[in-house]
Amino acid sequence: MRLTVVDGDITTQQVDAVVNAANRRMRGGLGVDGAIHAAGGPEVLEDCKRRFPDGLATGAAGWTTGGRLPARWVIHVVGPNYAAGERDRSLLTSCYSGALAVADELGARTVAFPLVSAGVYGWPREDAMRAAVETLRTTPTAVEEARIVAFGRAAYDEIAAVVGA
């Protein structure tokens, strides 16, 4: 699998699936979650309600339609909330390995990822980057390209340094 980094907006990526850093309720939220729901339109929320009436557990992954996004699917993962005391790193890495497993089930060959839990959930950024890169590089998958989408040049430079290391 090819691991790449781009500076851009995850909602505009021309990929088979985008990964959403969702909350347990699966009803939209802030940050990446809010952006994906806004760009994907009401179809994403309706599919979340239908597929996940009780939400999704921390560390778990599931999919919905991409709605109005360029991507066909949204793979939702619920990262651990470090700021609220959820500090088990395996919950964070399971978001990435679980997303790849879902992508394989769907037949997705290109997948765009955000840095899960590194925003409002407060996971230390350096470790969030290492967890993403290590897990994406070591998880067996049929995905051909895993793309980490950085929002802004500074974030791109940080992530690219970890990918290149």
Give me the active site residues, please.
33
Neighbouring residues of 164: CB distance < 8 A, sequence distance ≥ 6: none
- Give 152's DSSP letter: S
Q: Is 130 helix (H, G, I), strand (E, B) or coil?
A: helix
- C-alpha span between 106 and 17 (Å, rounded): 9
User: How many C-beta atoms lie closer than 10 Å to residue 114's C-beta?
Assistant: 25
Q: Map tokens 């990964």 to a residue.
A: 19
Token couple for 8: 């851009």
Q: Is 35 helix (H, G, I), strand (E, B) or coil?
A: helix
